Structure 1
Amino acid sequence: MVTKLKKPSTNQSSKAAFESSSAAGAHLAQNIKDSAQQIWLAGLGAFSKAQAEGGKVFEALVKDGMGLQRKTQAAAEERIAEATGRMTDMASGITAKAAGVATDLTAKATGQWDKLETIFEDRVAKALHKLGVPTAKEVQALMKRVDELSRQSGKSTTKVVSKKAVVAKKAVTKTANNVVKAAKKRVTAKKS
């Protein structure tokens, strides 16, 4: 251990002071040498101990590193699973919205086709009415009336219906021929 030097007293003579200071200097040098030796030996001891226990420390560090790696890997997998779940939920939501939009568009398109069909049927009915063609309702009403009259008169409905059908067919053919002739006249009149 390093010891503290004592101060020489001022009463002593200079020779005694010189001798005392030389002895103190030698003593100081010896103390420094001893301290350096102790520090050197402590360093060698630490190095030796580190070599001896270095393998154990290295293994302990590897073990700690593996534990830390497992923890971080588990945390990363958990985050990935969480993100995957959110993405799946989002995809399901988008799919549901897309299906809803498709259903809405289909309903609107069906509605438009129904409107178009109704308009077409109305125009065809008007054209047939202008040509004098009876509607299905009018034919059904006529058939009922014929059936009633047949029952009242006791005649067979098939003969009456077939005669009426021939008469109706002739009327339609005659009307159609008249329409074609009128159309031809208009075309020739426009050309002139």
Structure 2
Amino acid sequence: MVKKIQKAGSAAKPTAAAFNSPLSGAIKDSAQQIWLAGLGAFSKAQEEGGKAFESLVKEGMSIQRKTQAVAEERISEATSRVSSMATDISSKAAGQWDKLENIFEDRVAKALNKLGVPSARDVEALIERIDALNRHVQSLGSKAPAKTAARKAAPAKKAAPAKKAAPRKTARSTKAA
């Protein structure tokens, strides 16, 4: 250890002899020991510092993996929320679009009805009536040959000649007269 140096009673300036004295040797030894202790501490810190650095790197990698996993989880949650919101919005928009389309169709149908244009239901009803009449005509057509044969067998009566109707007077004919 470093030895204590007692102060000399005189306040004289040190001389060259004073530097070669045992006191100066003790100071040199003490300085040498301090230097060696510093080198030893540096060496120890360097060895342990490398180990500490490696352990810090490993711990940092572990923390990075954990934070990445948490971040990916949060991102997937946010993505699922956004996609569900988008699905909800698109379904609401589709519902609104259907309502708008129905309103438009109703208004067009009313306008066409006022103009006298038949609706699709009216056309379908007419088609059904035509089909029913066709079936009825066909059923009558299959019975018709028997009736026509009966008519041919009966004597034919002459029909009385039809009288001609008198011509009507129109607005033009009254003006000309």
Question: If the length of structure 2 is used for normalisation, what is the TM-score?
Answer: 0.52
Which residue type is aligned with residue 47 of structure 2? E
Are 2:46 and 1:63 equivalent residues in the alignment? no
Stretches of structure 2 lacking an aligned partner (at least 5 in a row): 4-8, 10-21, 145-177
Give 1:92's aligned residue.
Answer: 80
Structure 1 position 149, deviation (Å): 4.5
> What is the root-mean-square deviation in Å for CA atoms of aligned residues?
3.7
Structure with higher helix content: 1
Give 2:107's aligned residue.
Answer: 119
Structure 1 position 45, deviation (Å): 2.7
Give 1:176's aligned residue.
Answer: none
Give 1:103's aligned residue.
Answer: 91
Among candidates 144, 147, 151, match of residue 135 of structure 2: 147
Structure 1 position 59, deviation (Å): 1.7
Asked which structure has the greater RCO (Cα within 8 Å, sep 6+), the reply is 1
Kindly tell me the number of residue pairs found equivalent between the two proteins: 124
Distance 1:112-1:35 versus aligned 2 partners, 3 A rule: same
Which residue type is aligned with residue 53 of structure 2? G
Give 1:77's aligned residue.
Answer: 65
Stretches of structure 1 lacking an aligned partner (at least 5 in a row): 3-24, 26-33, 157-192
Distance 1:110 1:35 in 2: 106
Are 2:29 and 1:45 equivalent residues in the alignment? no
Runs of 4+ in 1 over 4 A off after TM superposition: 34-43
Structure 1 position 109, deviation (Å): 0.3
User: Percent identity among equivalent residues?
Assistant: 11
